[in-house]
Amino acid sequence: MGTDVAIDLGTSRTRIFIHGKGIMVNEPSVVTVNLENETIAAVGEEAYLMLGRTSSRMDVVYPLSGGVISDFGLVEAMITLLLKGVVSSKIGMPRAIACVPGEITEVEKRAVVNAVSGAGIRRVCLIEEPVAAAMGAGVDIETPHGSFVVDIGGGTTDMAVISLGGISVSHSIKQAGNTFDDEIIKYVRKKYNMLIGKRTAEQAKINIGCVVPGISDDTYRIKGRNLVTGMPDWVDLTADEMVEPLIETAETIVNYVQDTLEETPPELTGDIYNSGIILTGGSSQLKGLDVLINRATNLKVSIAEDPSNCVVRGCGEAIKYIDRLNKSDSGVNPIIDQY
């Protein structure tokens, strides 16, 4: 008997849940490659610390982008190394559930399955990210009650109306946390003539990022290179000024939420009217995003508990469906697919 695992291969972070144990891996989806001998020098947290700080001999790569695998070999190696740290090979090759964003191609799904199998897993099932997010947020997905979940991650924002374990309406867009970071970099360059790295931009966003003015009067000091003098420089950013670079992406997300609601069958709309919209994913914590969605829809908007880990927890909960797949008389299983 092996150990069953659930894997959330996120654009920003990879999380692994082990049946009976909980979340055992939660590390940046980053790999450092030694270019001299083409070997992997580090993965996860250790690799993330090297981001923007390497020499010409080392390359630091995010092997997933926009929720899908962009470098297959590196993803496979990353999962293998992260799993090795938590699953002993003595207890046998586990079964796994991995999640994938909605609206990805069969080829992209196949790449996830192959990367996970390549890490030594004998049987791989896939679950759609919004369904996993809903389960992780505590929604009972098997009832006919409609729920609306918006998972705002690093590379994608996945939203879906879910009922009876299936997706009724969904949208997946490649605008999420990374887009916010890029907008901060552009803003600082234009307004202060200063060049900052991705990590600095992300830290500024997490500390003072805001999409509604007047919520916070915090400031955050960022350091970078002055593009006029070429010298190191710093600026104190305020929460209010962050609205300027962040609002456009936030409004794009809000527009998709409105579109999804407009496309939802009326009975389910009624359910959502009562239960509201649930936000999951790391970027759901961006200050004011819930307020913007509430203003645009007039619906109650709640941020799930521990929003960043909802998807992996939901995947972990979906492990119970693997055994149901085995029962030939159970018919079509709408929640997970076996590959």
Q: Applying CB under 6 A, which residues contact ligand ATP?
A: 10-13, 67, 153-156, 176-178, 202, 205-206, 209, 281-283, 285-286, 308
Q: How far apart are the first and last CA of the chain?
A: 20
Binding mask 285-314 for Mg ion (x = CB under 5 A): --------------------------x---
* Closest separation in Å from C-beta 237 to Mg ion: 27
156 binds, among Mg ion, ligand ATP, none (CB under 5 to 8 A by kind): ligand ATP
* Closer of 303 and 325 to ligand ATP (Cβ): 303
Residue of this chain nearest to Mg ion (CB atom): 153
To ligand ATP, the closest distance from the beta carbon of 1 in angstroms equals 30
Among 136, 153, 224, 316, binds Mg ion (CB under 5 A): 153
Residue 285: how many other CB atoms lie within 10 Å: 17
Q: Any contact of residue 28 with Mg ion (CB under 5 A)?
A: no
In this structure, which amino acid lies at residue 305? E
Q: To which residue do tokens 């887009």 refer?
A: 179
Of the candidate spans 74-82, 150-158, 222-230, 240-248, the one that interacts with Mg ion by CB under 5 A turns out to be 150-158
Binding partner of 200, given ligand ATP, Mg ion, none, CB within 5-8 angstroms per partner class: none
Q: How far is the CB of 206 from ligand ATP (least distance, A)?
A: 4
**Smallest distance, Mg ion to C-beta of residue 198, A:** 18
Does 10 bind Mg ion (CB under 5 A)? Our answer is: yes
In the complex, what is the shortest distance from the CB of residue 13 to ligand ATP, in angstroms, rounded to a whole number?
4
User: Residue 233 corresponds to which amino acid?
Assistant: D
Cβ proximity to Mg ion: between 10 and 224 the closer is 10
Does 101 interact with Mg ion (rule: CB under 5 A)?
A: no
Q: To the nearest whole angstrom, how small is the minimum distance from the Cβ of residue 190 to Mg ion?
A: 30
Q: Which residue is at the shortest CB distance from ligand ATP?
A: 177
Q: Are strands 13-18 and 5-9 parallel, antiparallel or unpaired?
A: antiparallel
Q: Which does 246 bind (CB under 5 to 8 A by kind): Mg ion, ligand ATP, none?
A: none
Smallest gap, in angstroms, from Cβ of residue 202 to ligand ATP? Answer: 5
Q: Which amino acid is at 191?
A: K
Nearest approach, Cβ of residue 89 and ligand ATP (Å): 27
Contacts of 73 (CB under 8 A, 6+ apart): none
Cβ proximity to Mg ion: between 147 and 224 the closer is: 147
Whichever of 224 and 314 has its CB closer to Mg ion, that residue is 314
The two three-digit tokens of residue 289, written as one number? 């995003």
Nearer to ligand ATP, 153 or 245 (CB): 153
Nearer to ligand ATP, 170 or 178 (CB): 178
Is residue 66 within 8 Å of residue 155, measured between CB atoms?
yes
Cβ distance to Mg ion smaller for residue 11 or 200: 11
Binding footprint of Mg ion on the chain (CB under 5 A): 10, 153, 311
